Amino acid sequence: MAIVKYWGKHGQQLARNPSLSLTLSEAFTETKISYKALEKVVSGSDAIQLSFTFEGKEEPAFAERIKKYLSSLLPVFPFLKQLDLTIDTKNSFPHSSGIASSASAMSALALCLCSIEDRLFGTLSSDQEFDQKASYIARLGSGSACRSVYGHWSLWGETGEVKGSSDVYAIPMADQVHPAFERAQDAILIVSEHKKSVSSTQGHQLMETHDYASVRFQQARSRLHRLLSALRMGDWEDFGRIAENEALTLHGLMMSSNPSYMLMHPNTLRILNATRKYREVKKVPVYFSLDAGPNVHLLYPESVKEEVNEWIGSELSTYCKDGKVIYDHGGDGPEEL
Ligand code: PMV
């Protein structure tokens, strides 16, 4: 879940501004890659031998995207051409509805590919080397995925404020965050499971000619500066203000792009308004964020988890598709199964 958003890219999957996110625990992808040596490698061919299933079913559109991605990685992983690959993958949450499914899927896949490289050639023995390569490879699949190879908080994009930050891979930030943000809660309110009408790829593209583009990229940098300070100081109030502003800015950019589009639903707005009212009346630190879709993330400290979860269940789940809420929190990140 990104707090300062990546929206707008250039070159080979490079972001126009640095971004910072929280890796969640319950919303995850499980990916299994089996591989065996191909009996006959067609020389000079970039064809990837792949059978692919998503949630147990063949999904030609996803398979095509993965195949294209794997062929684009041949300069980095030439051995892929010599393997017969089978990929089975599944998510614990609905895909393509704007809850970072491509970040989750592409980071899982990138981690698997790096594990294969390491098993075959023993080339990624240090953890840092492994993580940075996985993050770099994930980025080439979906920009936001480069942050998801780490648990807890991670930062993608070079900023003079954080040593080691880079445009080509993300870095972990957990050790730079105040204990008040440990196990930050993130309840995902599923307003709609429909595939969104405009993809993030198209959204990034529209930023190229957006009237507000340069101001936006500047704004993201100054919000990141404030966010880093809020995270270091344990300041939930400023953190929440930034999270909400970023969410509304992202959707404002969509609504003001050319052509304009809208991904929020009426129930999204009902939840946002109810959240602000609840916070004001109850004086409880609970804040919203949105990714590129209608579903709402509510962010709050673990210390208020019980009362907030109860309120979500009794007041807000009526705005959700079949009452669906994923009660999630920052987690330790990917696990090799
Ligand atoms: O990684 P992409 O191309 O799916 O872009 C997603 C961008 C947002 O999720 C909307 C924001 C972010 O920083 O993750």
Q: What is the pLDDT of residue 40?
A: 82
Q: What is the pLDDT of residue 44?
A: 61
Question: pTM for the complete prediction?
Answer: 0.95
Q: Pocket of ligand 1, candidates 19, 24, 144, 251: which has the most ligand atoms within 8 Å of its Cβ, to mutate?
A: 144
Q: Pocket of ligand 1, candidates 14, 200, 261: which has the most ligand atoms within 8 Å of its Cβ, to mutate?
A: 200
Amino acid at 75: P
d(CA 98, ligand 1 centre) in Å: 9
Split the chain (337 residues) into runs of 10 and give each run's mean pLDDT.
98 97 95 94 75 93 93 95 95 72 92 97 94 98 97 98 98 96 96 88 97 98 98 98 98 98 97 98 98 96 98 98 96 95
User: According to CATH, where is 3.30.230.10 located in the chain?
Assistant: 2-172
Q: Tell me the C-alpha to C-alpha distance, in Å, between residue 77 and each of 129, 284, 297.
A: 15, 49, 36
Question: What is the tens place of the pLDDT at every residue in 144-172?
Answer: 999 999 999 999 999 999 999 999 999 99
Phi, psi angle pair for 19, to nearest 5°: -140, 160
Q: What is the pLDDT of residue 301?
A: 98
DSSP character for 234?
T
3-state SS of 196-212? CCCCHHHHHHHHCCCCC
| Architecture of the domain defined by 182-329 | 2-Layer Sandwich (3.30)
d(CA 273, ligand 1 centre) in Å: 24
User: According to CATH, where is 3.30.70.890 located in the chain?
Assistant: 182-329
d(CA 123, ligand 1 centre) in Å: 30
Q: What is the pLDDT of residue 97?
A: 57
Q: State whether the beta carbon of 290 lies less than 6 angstroms from ligand 1.
A: no
- DSSP-derived pairing of the beta strands 19-23 and 152-156: antiparallel
Q: Pocket of ligand 1, candidates 1, 4, 5: which has the most ligand atoms within 8 Å of its Cβ, to mutate?
A: 5
11 burial (CB, 10 Å; 0-12 / 13-18 / 19+) is: exposed
Structure tokens of 61? 């559109």
Amino acid at 148: S
Q: State whether the beta carbon of 18 lies less than 6 angstroms from ligand 1.
A: no
Amino acid at 67: K
Nearest atom, ligand 1, residue 100 CA? 9
| The domain over range 2-172 is classified in CATH as 3.30.230.10 | yes
- Dmax (CA) for the chain in angstroms is 69
